[in-house]
C-alpha cells in the first residue's frame, strides 16, 4: 500500500553518489527518504525500528493483563491507552490489540 501510494519512509545506506542516483526511484516510492550512512546502514536502521515496534506491540499486549491483575476492567484499558497516546495511529493499533474478544469496536469505547 505505501509503495503504491508513494508514502513509504525509506532509510538508505550507500554512497552519496548512489543515493543521489537512486533519488528519483526512491521518490516515487516514498515521501520520507533519509540517507543514513554507508552500505548496510539502511538495513540496520530498519532493524532498530522494528525492534522498537515489536517492543511496543509486546507492551500493548501486556498492559491490559497487568491492569486486569490489579483489578482494572480490561474493557476500559483501550480507551485510556487511546486517550493518553500522543500518536493516533499507534493508539488505534493499541486499541485493536487490547480490546477484549467480543467487545464493541467503536470510538466511544476506544475499541476501533
pLDDT of 95 over the 80 cut:
no
Residues 6+ apart with CB under 8 A from 68: 74, 77
Please state the pTM of the whole predicted model: 0.61
Catalytic site residue from 19, 37, 45, 46: 46
First vs last C-alpha separation in the chain: 21
Taking only the tens place, the pLDDT of each residue in 40-68 is: 999 999 999 999 999 999 988 888 888 88
| Together in a domain, 32 and 75 | no
Domain enclosing residue 21, as ranges: 1-39
Give the pLDDT of residue 109. 47
Q: Among this protein's residues, is 46 annotated catalytic? A: yes
Query: Is 58 contained in some domain?
Result: yes
pLDDT tens for each residue of 10-44: 999 999 999 999 999 999 999 999 999 999 999 99
Q: What share of the chain in percent tops pLDDT 70?
A: 68
Domains in the chain, number: 2
Task: Identify whether 88 is part of a domain.
Answer: yes
Amino acid at each position: 500500500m505505501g509503495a503504491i501510494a508513494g508514502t513509504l519512509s525509506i532509510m538508505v545506506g550507500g554512497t552519496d553518489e548512489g543515493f543521489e542516483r537512486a533519488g528519483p526511484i526512491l521518490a516515487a516510492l516514498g515521501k520520507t527518504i533519509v540517507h543514513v550512512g554507508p552500505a548496510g546502514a539502511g538495513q540496520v536502521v530498519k532493524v532498530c525500528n522494528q525492534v522498537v515496534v515489536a517492543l511496543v506491540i509486546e507492551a500493548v499486549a501486556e498492559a491490559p493483563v497487568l491492569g486486569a491483575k490489579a483489578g482494572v476492567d480490561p474493557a476500559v484499558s483501550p480507551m485510556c491507552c487511546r486517550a493518553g497516546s500522543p500518536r493516533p495511529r499507534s493508539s488505534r493499533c493499541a486499541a485493536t490489540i487490547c480490546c477484549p474478544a467480543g467487545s464493541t469496536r467503536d470510538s466511544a469505547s476506544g475499541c476501533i
